[in-house]
Amino acid sequence: MIIYNYVFIGMLLLGAIGFALAPVIVMGILAPRKRSSSKADTYECGLLTTGETWVRFRIQYYIYAIMFLVFDVETVFLYPWAVAYERLGLFALAEMVVFLLILAVGLAYAWGKGVLKWV
Amino acid sequence: MPVNAPVLFDFIHLAPEIILSLWGLFVVMIDVALLRRRSSATRGRILGVMSIIGALAALASIYLPDMMDLGHAASNVEESLFQGTILGGLLVERLTALLLILLIFVIALSTTWDLTEHWGEYYALLLWATVGMILLIASEELLTLFLTLEMMTICLYIVTAFEKDQRRSAEGGLKYFVYGSVSSALFLFGLSLLYGLTGTTRLAAIGLALAPAHTSIGLVGNVAGAMAVLLVLVGFGFKISAVPFHQWAPDAYEGAPAPVSAWLATGSKLASIVALMKVLVQALGPWAHGVNDISSPGWVGIVAVISALTMTYGNFAALAQKNLKRMLAYSSIAHAGYMLVGVLAVVVGAGKSAAGPVLFYLVVYSAANIGAFSIAAWLYRDKGTDQIEDLNGLGLKYPILGMCVLLLMLSLIGLPGLAGFWGKFFMFSEALSQGDDRHKLTFLWLVGLGLMNSVISAFYYVRVLRAMFLRPSTGRPLQAPTLTIRLAVIGSAAVALIFGLYPQPLSTETDAMAESRIFITPSRPAELLSVSPVRVVPRPNASDDTRLRAGPIGGGPSAPPEPTPVPDSRAK
C-alpha cells in the first residue's frame, strides 16, 4: 500500500526533473550557435565588469531582513487570532497585547543599538 | 469547540519562568537605554548584579503558590498546568531552585573578566536559557518538551560563541550549533513517529497507550517504533553528550567562556538528564524490554551499551587532555555515562521510583563542576590559557582554595567521605537492587565497569592536584581571585564535604522528589492521576505485532488525537 502511494510522488519527481531539463536539452539541439567575445563575458547588468568580482561587500541589509521577518511572522500570528477573536474573548486580547509588547521591545532594542541607521 | 483559557492559577505556578523572561528583556533594555556610555567592565558588573537580583526574585517566586495557599507542595500533590502540558509540584519546584542557584553562580563568575562588550545580551541569553531548562524539566508533553529543549540550546549556542575575538569560541559555537540542529531534527522526527504511533503527545498517555495492558505490541517487528526509540535516543544522546554523539562537547566546552562551559556542564546537562528519564520511563517505559525478559528487544540494551561506551570513552579520552576545560568536558561525558546506569535502574524498578539516586548525583555533580570551572575562569583571566600545567604551584600559594579544589577533585573521583562517593554508591547500589536475577546480571557488569572507570578517572583528576601542589609555580603568577571565584569554589567544596559527611538530608530530599509521577511508568489508568486515558484503536483484522504498523502511520488517520481536556484536579 505504502509503496503504491510513493509511485505518484515518484512520477511527480520525474515530471519536475523533466520539466527543468527539457528546455535545456531542446535548446541545445535546436538553437543556432554563434560565439562572440561579448557573449562569453561575465554578466553584470549588461555593463563591463570593473575590478575583481570576488570582493567582499557589506551585507548591512540583513538586519533589515531580520527585522522584516519578525514583523512578517507577527502578521501571520495576527490573522488567525483576528478570525477567532469573537470566540477567544478578553484573554486572547491580553495575550496578543503581551506578544506585541515583546515585539515592540525587540524593535526598541534594535533602534537603541543603532541598527536602523544606514551607515 | 470551546477554548479553555488557562486560569490565573497556572500562571502563578509559572512565576519564576515569567520573571526570568521579562527580566531578560529588562536587562537588555537597560543596557541599551541607560548604560551606553559606560565602559564595558562597568556595564558587565552593573548588569551582572541586576541579573542576580532577577534570579533571586525568581527564586523567591517559586514559593508564591505556597504563600497564596494555592499549591499543595507540602502534601506532594502534583499539578497539571495549562491543560496537562506542564507539571507543577515538589520535583519541579526543587529543581527550579537548584537551577536558579547554579545560575546565580554562573552569572557571578561571568563578571570575572571582560569577556564581551554585549553584556545585556549575554545575561539575557543566560536567563532565557534557564527558562528553557526549567520548562524542559516541567514539560509533560512532546511538543512542549521539544520547544523548551530548543529554547535552551539555541540560547546556549549563542553564548558559547560569545567571545567574539577568540577563534576557538566561534569554532566551538559553530560545532555545537551544527551538531545540535541536526540532532534536534532527528529528535523531532522521532517524536513525530511516536505521535503517529500513539495518537497523543502526552507522555503519560503515550506510556499508557504502549502499556502491555492495552496492547500486546512490543518492539518486535515494529520498524516505526524502533525508529522512534532510536531517534529519540540520538536526540537526547546529543544533549547529554553521550558517546557516540559527544563530539561537539570538548570543542564547545573548551571554546566557550568558562562560565558558559560551567552552565553547559551543569544546567543543560541536569535538565536534559531529567527530560531523558521522563521520556524513557514515563512514555517509553513499556518498550524498555519485553515482558519479564530483559534480553528481548527494547531500549534497555541500547542504553546499557551507550552507558558503557560513554563512561569508558569519556574517562580514557580525559586521560590524554592537557587543557583543563577539555578535561572537564570529557569528565562530564564520563559522568553522563554513570548517570545512564541510574536511569536504567529507574525503568527496571517499575512501581517504586528509583530516581532519587540520579537526582542526588546530579546535585553533587553540578556543584562540583561549578567549582572546577570557576578555577578555569580564574586561570583564563590571568593567564589567557586554560592548560592544566598553568595551575602549577597554585595550591601552595592559595592554601584554602587549594584545599577546596582537593575536596572537589576527590569528590569527583568518588572517594569515601565526600558527596561524590555517596552519589555513586546510592546509584550503583540502587541499580544492583533492582529487578530479578536476569536484571542483576546486566547491572552487575555495568556497575563493575563503572567502578573500574572511577579508578581510571582518579588519574586525571589527580593530575590537577599534582600540578597544584607538587609542581613549582611557572610563568606569570596568578593574581588574587575575585570574591565570586572564592565563593563558587568554597561553596561547591562545602557541598561536597557537607553532603559527604551527612548525605542523609539530601538523599531524603531527592527521594521525596523522585516520588514524582514522571518517573513512574503508567500501567493502570489510576496511576495517570489527572490525565485521561488515550485510546489506541485496535485493528480487528491485524495480527498483534503488526497492529501498530498498520496504524495511523501507514493507513491514514485512524487514532484521533484526543481533544479531551484535563479534568480539573484542583476543583474543590
Total domain count, chain A: 2
Instruction: Determine the average pLDDT of the residues in B451-478.
Output: 89
Average of per-residue pLDDT across B398-414: 93
Omega of the bond prior to B503 within 30 degrees of 0, cis? no
The contacts of residue B57 (CB under 8 Å, 6+ apart) are B19, B23
Question: What integer pLDDT is reported at residue B390 of this predicted model?
Answer: 87
Same domain, A69 and A24: no
Kindly report the nearest CA distance between residue B25 and chain A, in angstroms: 8
Which site among B3, B14, B223 would you substitute to test the A interface, given the most A Cβ atoms closer than 10 Å to its Cβ? B3
Q: Beta-carbon neighbour count of residue A49 at 10 Å?
A: 10
Q: Nearest by CB to A109, from B5, B28, B36: name it.
A: B28
Q: B29 to chain A nearest CA, in Å?
A: 6
Question: Inter-chain contact B32–A109, Cβ cutoff 8 Å?
Answer: yes
Rounded to the nearest 10 degrees, what angle do helices B419-432 and B356-383 cross at?
Answer: 150
CB B244 within 8 A of CB B238: no
- The answer to whether residue B239 scores a pLDDT higher than 50 is yes
Q: Please list every residue in chain A whose beta carbon sits closer than 8 Å to the beta carbon of residue B25.
A: 102, 105
Q: Is residue A65 part of a domain?
A: yes
In angstroms, the CA B318 to CA B314 distance is 6
Q: Which residues contact B194 (CB under 8 A, 6 or more apart)?
A: B142, B206, B228, B232, B283
Total Cβ atoms within 10 A of residue B90: 21
CA A97/CA B300 separation, integer angstroms: 48
Nearest CA-CA distance, residue A1 and chain B, Å: 8
Contacts of A59 (CB under 8 A, 6+ apart): none
> B278 or B4: which carries more pLDDT confidence?
B278
Answer whether residue B547 shows pLDDT above 50.
no
Residue of A nearest to B21 (CA): A102
Report d(CA B159, CA B500) in Å as an integer.
Answer: 33
Longest dimension (CA), chain B: 79
Q: Quick check: A112 and B32 CB within 8 A?
A: yes
B32 contacts on A by Cβ (under 8 Å): 108-109, 112-113
Please tell me which of the candidates A1, A91, A108 has its beta carbon nearest to residue B554.
A1
How far away is chain A from the Cα of B69, in angstroms, using its nearest Cα?
A: 24
* Chain B CA closest to residue A93: B5
Q: Cα dist. B503→B90, B376, B431, B507, B511 in Å? A: 20, 28, 18, 6, 12
Give the gap in angstroms from C-alpha A94 to the nearest C-alpha of chain B: 11
Grid cell for residue B155: 540560547
Nearest Cα to Cα of residue B85 among B571, B572, B565: B565
- Residue B410: its H or E element: helix B399-413
d(CA B361, CA B429): 13
pLDDT confidence bin for A1, thresholds 50/70/90: low
Task: Give chain B's contact residues with A (Cβ, < 8 Å).
Answer: 2-3, 5, 25, 28-29, 32-33, 36, 554-555
Helices (H), B199-247: 203-210, 223-239
Q: What is the pLDDT at residue B258?
A: 94
| Beta-carbon count within 10 A of B509 CB | 16
Helix (H) or strand (E) holding A102: helix A90-112
CA distance B184 to B229: 14
Round to whole Å and give the CA distance between B268 and B265: 6
Number of Cβ pairs < 8 A linking chain A and chain B: 23
| Cβ separation B29–A88 shorter than 8 A | no
Chain length of chain B: 572
Average pLDDT, chain B: 85
Residue B435 has pLDDT above 80, yes or no: no
Q: What does the pLDDT read at residue B545?
A: 41
CB pair distance less than 8 Å for B29 and A105? yes
Please name the helix (run of DSSP H) or strand (run of DSSP E) that holds residue B350, with its range, or none: none
Note whether residue A93 is domain-resident.
yes
- Do B325 and B312 touch, CB atoms closer than 8 A? no
Contact B5 A87 (CB under 8 A): no
d(CA B536, CA B200): 10
In a domain? residue A46: no
**Residues whose CB falls within 8 Å of the CB of residue B100, separated by 6 or more in sequence, listed in order:** B16, B55, B58, B59, B62, B130
Q: Considering the domain boundaries, does residue A39 fall inside one?
A: no
CA distance A20 to chain B (A): 30
Least confident stretch, A25-39, B50-64, B74-88: B74-88
Q: What is the C-alpha to C-alpha distance for residues B119 and B47, in angstroms, rounded to an integer? A: 7
Q: Quick one: pLDDT at residue B373? A: 94
Of the partner residues B25, B33, B555, the one whose CB lies closest to the CB of residue A112: B33
Structure confidence by residue, pLDDT tens digits, A55-77 = 877 777 788 888 888 889 889 99
| Alpha carbon of A28: minimum distance to chain B alpha carbons (Å) | 40
Do the chains contact at B3 and A87, CB–CB below 8 Å? yes
Q: Do B32 and A87 touch (CB under 8 A)?
A: no
- Do A64 and A109 reside in the same domain of the chain? yes
CA distances from B495 to B341, B403, B490 (A): 23, 14, 9
Do B138 and B78 form a contact (C-beta atoms < 8 A)?
no
Q: How far apart are CA B196 and CA A62, in angstroms?
A: 39
On the question of pLDDT at B567 being above 60, the answer is no
Chain A CB contacts of B14 under 8 Å are: none
pLDDT of residue B540: 42
Q: Please count the other Cβ atoms lying within 10 Å of the Cβ belonging to residue B14.
A: 22
CB contact under 8 A, A102 and B25: yes
For residue B210, name the pLDDT band (cuts at 50, 70, 90). confident
DSSP string, B471-507: SPP-SSPPPPPPHHHHHHHHHHHHHHHHHHH-HHHHH
Percent of chain B with pLDDT over 90: 57
Q: Which residue has the higher pLDDT, B129 or B2?
A: B129
Q: What is the mean pLDDT of residues B62-68?
A: 80
At B291, is the pLDDT very low, low, confident or very high (cuts 50, 70, 90)? Answer: low
With 90 as the cut, is the pLDDT of residue B234 above it? yes
CB B522 within 8 A of CB B208: yes
- Name the residue among A91, A102, A113 with its Cβ closest to that of B32: A113
Output the pLDDT for position B563.
42
At A66 the pLDDT is 85
The pLDDT of residue B558: 41
Which of residues A28 and B440 earns the better pLDDT score? A28
Among B322-336, B451-465, B534-548, the minimum mean pLDDT is found in: B534-548
Position B164 scores a pLDDT of 86
- Of chain B, the percentage scoring pLDDT greater than 70 comes to 84
Q: Which domain, by its residues, includes A105?
A: 59-113
Report, as an integer, the average pLDDT of B240-265. Answer: 94
pLDDT at B218 over 70: no
**pLDDT at residue B488, rounded to an integer:** 94
Of B2, B25, B554, the CB nearest to A105: B25
What value does the mean pLDDT take over residues B264-277?
95
- From chain A, the residues in CB contact with B3 under 8 A are 87-88
pLDDT at residue B107 above 90? yes
B266 or A38: whose pLDDT is higher?
Answer: B266
Residues of B in contact with A107 (CB under 8 A): none
Examine residue A10 and state whether it is found in any structural domain, yes or no.
yes
Q: How confident is the model at residue B238 (pLDDT cuts 50, 70, 90)?
A: very high
Helix spans in B74-118 (H): 90-110
Across B91-105, B273-287, B512-526, least confident range = B512-526
pLDDT at B539: 41
CA distances from B423 to B16, B108, B364 (A): 28, 27, 7
Residues of A in contact with B36 (CB under 8 A): 112
**Residues sharing a CB contact under 8 Å with residue B465, sequence separation 6 or more, in sequence order:** B395, B405, B406, B409
Mean pLDDT computed over B14-22: 94
Q: Say if residue A27 is in the same domain as residue A63.
A: no
Whether B206 contacts B540, CB under 8 Å: no
Give CA–CA dist B285/B207, Å, rounded. Answer: 6
Chain B residue nearest residue A103, CA to CA: B25
Contact between A102 and A73 under an 8 Å Cβ cutoff? The reply is no
Residue type, B205: A
Residue A118 is assigned to a structural domain of this protein: no
**Residue A23 lies inside a defined structural domain of this protein:** yes
Q: Which residues of A touch B555 (CB under 8 A)?
A: 1
Considering only CB atoms, which chain B residues are within 8 Å of A108? 29, 32
Indicate whether A115 pLDDT > 90: no
**Is there a single domain that holds both residue A63 and residue A27?**
no
Q: What is the predicted pLDDT for the residue at B293?
A: 61
pLDDT value of residue B431:
87
Tell me the ipTM for this assembly: 0.73
The grid coordinates listed for B449 are 565497569
For the cut 80, the answer to whether the pLDDT of residue A15 exceeds it is yes
Nearest to B29 among A1, A92, A109 (CB): A109
Q: Which residue of A has its CA nearest to B553?
A: A2
Q: Which of B33, B36, B554 sits opposite A2 (nearest CB)?
A: B554
Per-residue model confidence (pLDDT) at position B527? 42
Mean pLDDT of B296-306: 85
Q: What is the DSSP letter of B196?
A: H
Q: Beta strand pairing status for B86-88 and B79-81?
A: antiparallel
Segment B24-28 shows an average pLDDT of 94
Lowest mean pLDDT among B308-322, B371-385, B463-477, B544-558: B544-558
What are the residues of chain A with a beta carbon less than 8 Å away from any beta carbon of chain B? 1-2, 87-89, 91-92, 102, 105, 108-109, 112-113
Q: Is residue A12 part of a domain?
A: yes
B330-334, B437-441, B482-486, B534-538: least confidently modelled range? B534-538
DSSP lists the bridge partners of residue B139 as B86
- Contact between A109 and B3 using a beta-carbon 8 Å cutoff: no
Q: Per-residue pLDDT for B565 more than 60?
A: no
Report the pLDDT value the prediction gives residue A67, as an integer from 0 to 100.
86
The model's confidence at residue B6, banded by pLDDT at 50, 70 and 90, is low
pTM strictly above 0.90: no
